[in-house]
Structure 1
Amino acid sequence: MRVAVSAFLGRYRGQTRVHTESDLRVFLRWCSDHELDPLSAARVDVERYVRWLQDVRRYQPSTVSRRLSVVVGFYRVCVIDAILEHSPADYVRRPTVPAESPTLGLGHLQFEALVTAARLSANPNDFALVALLGLLGLRIFEACGSNIADLGEEHGHRVLGVRGKGAKVVLVPLPPAVARAIDRAVDERRFRPCLDPRLGASCS
């Protein structure tokens, strides 16, 4: 089993590997709770797992689809590596994912209230995190993974090197308000991360 998992996760890097491993761990834990050897699972077992995600955990269709995709990929690699003769995830029906996300963002007044509350917080991490997420539009793992060493200047503008999916680094210009929020969180520290974990990082 360790060989199978290592072979599958070895195909991924950076944050993609972290998220894929997390999704796979959910399936393996479900198998353990049901006293099921993942390498002996049948199609009906994978379908039971999907129903558990839907009916017990009540995940959104997009989350169920993503976690099923990880299971499908895991078993596909098992077949490629001759660990299994066939994949038990073949022909498992995927949930229908709406074309438009049902998740609503914050309204203008709600976001203003969030920014105000974060700005007044005694923890400088709070405003820095809200600024990175709400004003720059970073993903949570990008904001929490930002490093002091990634702060710099390009053509007279403050920039932050953001590590996105696939470990790609993109230089993002920092508006003055965001730059000030990061500077306040960094204070006089010279080493990573930008959000000081000693203050109880908001993304922990």
Structure 2
Amino acid sequence: MDAAPLAARVTRIATLVAGLPALPPDDGSRYSPRRLTVSWLLEAESVHTEIAHARDLGAFLDWCNRERLDPLTARPTDLAQFKVWRGAGTGGTPAAASTVARALASISSWYTHLVANTDGGVTRNPVAAVKRPPVNRHTSTTAGLTLDEVDALLAAADAQAGARAAAAGRTPTGQARYLAALRDRALLRLLADLGLRISEALDRDLGDLSNNAGHRTLRFVGKGGVHRERPLTPHSLQALDEYLAARAAAAGTTADRLSGPIFATTGAGGDGRLAEPNIFMTLRRLARIAGIASADRLSPHSLRHAFATGAREAGIALEDVQDAMGHADPRTTRRYDRDRHNLDRDPAFVLGARRASRRSGNQR
């Protein structure tokens, strides 16, 4: 990461940690709990993980504050009580087992970091003795999309860009709305065509666009810090090139001279990094326009699921889909394949057809 973005990230995380309750004030030492919390968040493998860690730790420290509990001396029984409280959810809606398990994993990671770095200041990880709620690793609760629904969603993004084109040159607001439509169209195509995680797309800078073996490619850091490179499809490239050309024209330059994030905000300066919540709202709004019944439950991850299912429906080998999605374990890839329970894919049909063929041959 370049020095400027890293400095901005450190400042952002430090500000967040300074506002967390239940921890002692920063005493200025290198290994104070607050400074170690900053370093822990900086070590997150992605911005998405960092945000999840910060949210889970914040919820835990809020709970400690209400319980008048010092988190640095908490015992396993305290964490067991937090688990029950977190599972109860808010507004009378219980939290999913996966949500509670993720929260405990985040807090456990934080305690492990403190134990390793406080030289006896924190002596144990109380989460280690707490039983985690069972989570079904073979299914996913992400709302799915059929391939027809993906096509309808992308068509709605196309229509939005077309509708805003006429007003693009009339006012600064019209220009910003048109650029946003082109950007959203390019991003949704990229997510649908490559099955990327949303963080893998939003964290990319223009310098991550490259060429390799006759393909224009996107380089990125996947889960686990693995450096990867994927080819861009003509479908995605068309939308991406149109967006970057329009963005460059608005900035009075050329596309090859642009810098900053690939998917930028359209406000003052027009070069801020697009935030993940914006994509949720855009995706659901376009899905409603497209008439998709599950619109209000969709997330960018729904397009990743659709990518896996579509690839398997097309007969692409599981290991190739696994490689494309960056999964270390093929069982993870199978979770994304919503068509795997399709009865038409049951091996019994193939074996039965072969048995019939053998019997027919023996009778001749």
Same fold (TM over 0.5): yes
How far has the Cα of 1:85 moved from its partner? Answer: 3.4
Contact 1:148 1:186 in 2 (8 A): no
1:7 aligns with 2:36: yes
CA distance in 1, matches of 2:81, 2:54: 21
User: Structure 1: which 5+ runs fail to align?
Assistant: none
1:64 aligns with 2:97: no
How far has the Cα of 1:5 moved from its partner? Answer: 4.8
How far has the Cα of 1:154 moved from its partner? Answer: 1.2
Give the counterpart letter for 1:130 in structure 2. L
- SS of residue in 2 equivalent to 1:127: helix
The 5 Å alignment of 1:114-153 reads 114-122=153-161, 123-153=181-211
- Tell me: CA distance 1:124–1:29, structure 2 relative to 1, closer, same or farther (3 Å): farther
Which of 109, 121, 142 pairs up with 1:73? 109
CA-to-aligned-CA distance 1:98-141 (integer Å, 9 cap, x gap):
13223242122221211111222231122112112221111111
Larger RCO (alpha carbons 8 Å, 6+ apart): 1
- When the two chains are superposed, the root-mean-square deviation of aligned CA atoms in Å is 2.6
Structure having the larger proportion of residues in helix: 2
Scaled by the length of structure 2, the TM-score of the pair is 0.50
Q: Which runs of 4+ in 1 moved over 4 A?
A: 199-202
Report the structure number with the largest CA radius of gyration.
Answer: 2
Q: Which moved more, 1:117-126 or 1:16-25?
A: 16-25
- SS of residue in 2 equivalent to 1:191: coil
- Tell me: CA distance 1:33–1:186, structure 2 relative to 1, closer, same or farther (3 Å): farther
CA distance in 2, matches of 1:33, 1:184: 52
Which of 62, 65, 83 pairs up with 2:121? 83
- SS of residue in 2 equivalent to 1:36: coil
- Percent of residue pairs identical: 30
CA distance in 1, matches of 2:218, 2:197: 14
The 5 Å alignment of 1:1-204 reads 1=23, 3-7=32-36, 10=39, 12-15=43-46, 18-19=50-51, 20-57=53-90, 58-80=94-116, 81=118, 82-103=120-141, 104-122=143-161, 123-187=181-245, 188=248, 189=255, 190-198=258-266, 201=274, 203=276, 204=278
How far has the Cα of 1:197 moved from its partner? Answer: 0.7
Give the counterpart letter for 1:18 in structure 2. E
Q: Which moved more, 1:150-159 or 1:66-75?
A: 66-75
- SS of residue in 1 equivalent to 2:266: helix
User: Structure 2: which 5+ runs fail to align?
Assistant: 1-22, 27-31, 162-180, 249-254, 279-364
CA distance in 2, matches of 1:156, 1:95: 48
Scaled by the length of structure 1, the TM-score of the pair is 0.84
